[in-house]
Amino acid sequence: MTEPFSFTVHATDGAARTGTIRTAHGDVATPAFMAVGTAATVKAMQMRDVRETGTDVVLGNTYHLMLRPGAERVAELGGLHKFSNWPHTILTDSGGFQVMSLAKLRKVTEHGVTFQSHIDGSKHVLTPERSMEIQALLGSDIQMQFDECVDLPNGRDEIDRAMRLSLRWAERSKAAFQGGPGQAVFAIVQGGDIADLRVESARALVKMDFPGYAIGGLAVGEPQEVMARMLDVTVPELPSNRPRYLMGVGTPDDLLLSIERGIDMFDCVMPTRAGRHGLAYTRFGRINLKNARHANDPTPLDPESNCPAARDYSRAYLHHLVRSGELLAMTLITWANLAYYQSLMAGARTAIREGRFADYAAEARAGWARERE
Ligand SMILES: O=c1[nH]cnc2c(CCNCC3CCCCC3)c3[nH]c(NCc4cccs4)nc3cc12
């Protein structure tokens, strides 16, 4: 019998906390960085290597999978865990955010969003109900409410309209959620960069009582200090015994400043996307391996890393692969980036347990500065 979905906080250090989320497919150590698996794959990586980096959660992409191969087909093939050979926790997004950024001819109404596929122009509708049905068909452990995220900067009227629509869609998403034990539906706080709308959104969602709360509508072009200020006003409104997921974030620096403010979960395309473009994230900061200065460098990205990609290959070799446009460059640098993100999270979890997160963050930031000297 699968246990119910649960979240336990093991230790706190200021507003930072470390804990465990238990889902139908295993435990998630928090703070957690979740690897983005777009079309049922973490691009350029094998799932066993993703697991090796310490990743506990892979994101499934509702928008892509509903268009191709189709949610019903994935269900017939045993669900996303089986289809993609990832037996651990899967979080799926609602599809709403990507419809707004990828689809053509989108139309938003109270009912939902109609759009045309960016793949073949076919017409589709996404509503809170259909989104929850798709996420259930995929077999997702953590399902996201259907919401509307607006870009920043934006006017108060537009931010207010989208925030209230997202509240009504939160009710409908929760009502349509069919999850069993070990599965959960998370709400998404909206409100843009307007403090009083953030508070109103958070309080209304907490009243609906969700097993977890995401903070959306950020990392959409606002300065880092605006994001930090929105966390300062939003996090205190959320229950401390529920996971908090900051969507689409971020750089290593974003992660540390958000953990410091009480965030537990993150997802970001950065480490995987940057990896495919020859950009490595390391303890010493960002390294553009395309740069000629690496052509004769016999040292690996990080000799102390437990990731073969960061430890067993010279920067000269990686530079050669990037310059030659070799596929292996994408795999190795994506792998090293994900491993660095996971080691940053693992270090944060230990530092919080030991009550020294502030020092840990300062040491990490000092390390990034070294490479730039
Ligand atoms: O309010 C939001 N509601 C829903 N999703 C949001 C997302 C997508 C999070 N990653 C989903 C993944 C699902 C699986 C496939 C990959 C995405 C955001 N991403 C960002 N910033 C990063 C950004 C990325 C692109 C433009 S901004 N802000 C976000 C805000 C919201």
Q: How far apart are CA 70 and CA 134, in angstroms?
A: 9
Angle of helix 315-324 versus helix 327-353 axis, rounded to 10: 130
Residue 40 burial class via C-beta count within 10 angstroms: exposed 0-12, middle 13-18, buried 19 and up: buried
What backbone phi and psi angles, to 5 degrees, belong to 90?
-120, 130
What pLDDT score was predicted for residue 270? Answer: 95
Asked if residue 300 has pLDDT above 60, the reply is yes
Question: Given this model, what pLDDT does residue 1 score?
Answer: 63
**How far, in Å, are 63, 67, 78, 126, 293 from residue 111 at the CA level?**
17, 20, 30, 9, 55
Query: Which residue puts its alpha carbon closest to atom 19 of ligand 1?
Result: 248
pLDDT recorded at residue 373: 41
Residue 322's identity, in one-letter code, is V
> Is it the case that residue 370 has pLDDT exceeding 90?
no
What is the pLDDT averaged over residues 250-271? 98
pLDDT, tens digit, 9 for 90 and up, residues 119-175: 999 999 999 999 999 999 999 999 999 999 999 999 999 999 999 999 999 999 999
Alpha helices (runs of H) in 109-193, residue ranges in sequence order: 128-138, 156-176
Q: How many CA atoms lie within 13 A of 254 on its CB side?
A: 21
Q: How many C-beta atoms surround the C-beta of residue 362 within 10 A?
A: 12
pLDDT of residue 371: 63
ipTM, interface predicted TM-score of the complex: 0.99
Q: pTM value?
A: 0.98
Using one digit for the tens of pLDDT, what is the confidence trace for 65-88? 999 999 999 999 999 999 999 999
Asked if residue 220 has its Cβ within 6 Å of ligand 1, the reply is: yes
- Would you name the residues annotated as active-site residues? 93, 267
What is 211-228 written as a DSSP string?
SEEEE-S-SSS--HHHHH
- What is the per-residue pLDDT for 52? 97
CA torsion 111-117-123-126 (nearest 10°) is -20
- Cβ–ligand 1 distance for 93 under 6 Å, the answer yes
Q: Can you tell me which residue has the tokens 């979890």?
A: 349
What is the CA(285)–ligand 1 centre distance, in A?
24
Q: What is the pLDDT of residues 265-299, one digit of tens each?
A: 999 999 999 999 999 999 999 999 999 999 999 99
Whose C-alpha lies nearest to ligand 1, atom 17? 36
**Residues 143 and 186 sit within 8 Å (Cβ to Cβ):** yes
User: What's the gap in Å between 301 CA and the centre of ligand 1?
Assistant: 29
Report which of 143, 177, 129 is spatially closest to residue 57, judged by C-alpha positions: 143
pLDDT at 372 > cutoff 70: no
Cα 256 from chain centre: 15
Across 252-269, average pLDDT: 98
Instruction: Assess whether pLDDT exceeds 80 at residue 2.
Output: no
Q: What is the Cβ-side half-sphere exposure of residue 352, based on CA atoms within 13 angstroms?
A: 27
Nearest CA, atom 24, ligand 1: 248
Torsion of CA 135, 261, 206, 178, to 10 degrees: 20
Q: What tokens appear for 153 in the block?
A: 């900067």
What are 36's two structure tokens?
């983005």
Atom number, ligand 1, closest to the C-alpha of residue 149 = 1
Which tokens hold the place of 88? 């651990």
pLDDT tens figures, 196-234: 999 999 999 999 999 999 999 999 999 999 999 999 999
Q: Report the DSSP pairing between strands 265-267 and 244-246.
A: parallel
Query: Average per-residue pLDDT in the chain?
Result: 96
